[in-house]
Amino acid sequence: MYQTKIAAVGRYLPERNVTNKELSALIDTSHDWIVERTGIHQRRWFKPGVDTTSNMGAKAAQQAIDRAGISRNEVDFIVFATLSPDYVFPGSGVLVQKHLELDTIGALDIRNQCSGFIYGLSVADQYIKTGKYKNVLLICSEIQSNIFDLSDKGRSMAVIFGDGAAAFLLQRSDNTAKILTTHMHSEGRFAEELFLKEPSGLEEKRIMPDLLERDGIYPYMNGRHVFKHAVTRMTESVSAALEECNKAPEDIDIMIPHQANLRIAEAVRSKLNVEARHVFNNIQDYGNTTAASIPIAFFEALEQEKVKRGDLICFTAFGSGFTWGTALLEY
């Protein structure tokens, strides 16, 4: 059995920075409300006609390839996680393959929303562990600023979400670095507590004449319900992952929870009894970038030298589905 290491990380953020003040001019909200309820100060929004989910992912992937010091043709497989693909089909993995002119390697798309990164990491890990692949690109990219409802009904979501991309080059390990475990869960009975319904496959035609008048064309979230489950489930799955690896919360060098809401991250940290200096958050600057949030934060933690080789890292996520999971690794 082989082991998987993070060889390198890349990131791409759209240039446009949208502050809470700017958002308050578009939506009935305020800087104070957003900061108090979410911790967010600003987020990035994509530039239409320039940024796409797939080309942002490709830019992050190219940076990860460069930093890993390998050539494009050494990439064996692509895993792409997003809830905001360029097209309904095909998936975004093949579009990255096109942008980067990669060989005819396989490309797999993951549809697990905020948990997409953990699910993708687990998939890549299995391929590397079994010896099937040596270099797997895990790409997470989201453009969410174009699906908001800017009316009062949608404002709690519009203020939270942002756009961005990051990529991991995962590689067969040649040293002690390794993914120790990944835990994944889902609870489909809550699928409709956080979802985008329309255009739906439940109708005779996907595009019905009254589509634009339907509430379901905007994402729906039962915020408080999601909040409570996010805290409970992330805490539970981190505890289970630690137990499996005979580790304790105080062994964690850096924990990066999905950047959904600073209050959620803080509640998970406090329930687990992890000291604040061992948790990295950057939702303040980017909002909730769904599948991309953990890898963007990890990229930044590396840039700020908050992570060093040999550290015990904990990633945990929760989102639509509901889906959730945790990954523990020795970096």
258, 281, 282, 314: the catalytic one is 258
The residue from 16, 31, 37, 134 that contacts ligand UT7 (CB under 6 A) is 37
Q: Is 43 in the site for ligand UT7 (CB under 6 A)?
A: no
Q: Tell me how far apart the alpha carbons of residues 304 and 40 are, in angstroms, rounded to a whole number.
A: 20
Please tell me the number of Cα atoms within 13 Å of 176 on its side-chain side. 5
Count of CB atoms within 10 A of residue 165's CB?
32
- In the bound state with ligand UT7, the residue whose beta carbon lies nearer, of 116 and 133, is 116
Peptide bond into 199 cis (omega under 30): yes
Residue with tokens 């987020």: 43
- In the bound state with ligand UT7, the residue whose beta carbon lies nearer, of 295 and 319, is 319
- In the bound state with ligand UT7, the residue whose beta carbon lies nearer, of 107 and 262, is 262
Q: Is 288 in the site for ligand UT7 (CB under 6 A)?
A: yes
Residue 114 catalytic? Answer: yes
The residue from 106, 199, 216, 223 that contacts ligand UT7 (CB under 6 A) is 223
Binding range to ligand UT7, per CB under 6 A, among 29-37, 87-95, 122-130, 244-252: 29-37
20, 55, 282, 288: the catalytic one is 288
CA-based torsion, 202, 119, 324, 142: positive or negative:
negative
| Binding-residue pattern over the window 135 to 164 for ligand UT7, x denoting contact by CB under 6 A | --------------------xx--xx----
Q: Tell me how far apart the alpha carbons of residues 124 and 137 are, in angstroms, rounded to a whole number.
A: 8
**30 three-class SS:** coil
**194 three-class SS:** strand
Q: Tell me how far apart the alpha carbons of residues 292 and 118 are, in angstroms, rounded to a whole number.
A: 10
Q: Which two tokens stand for residue 3?
A: 């082991």
List C-alpha distances in Å: 125 to 179, 189, 206, 302. Answer: 7, 28, 37, 21
114, 229, 281, 282: the catalytic one is 114
Minimum CB–partner distance for residue 305 and ligand UT7 (Å): 28
Q: Is 234 in the site for ligand UT7 (CB under 6 A)?
A: no
Residues labelled catalytic: 114, 258, 288
Q: Please report, as ranges, the residues that interact with ligand UT7 according to CB under 6 A.
A: 29, 33, 37-38, 114, 155-156, 159-160, 194, 223-224, 226-227, 230, 260-261, 264, 288, 318-319
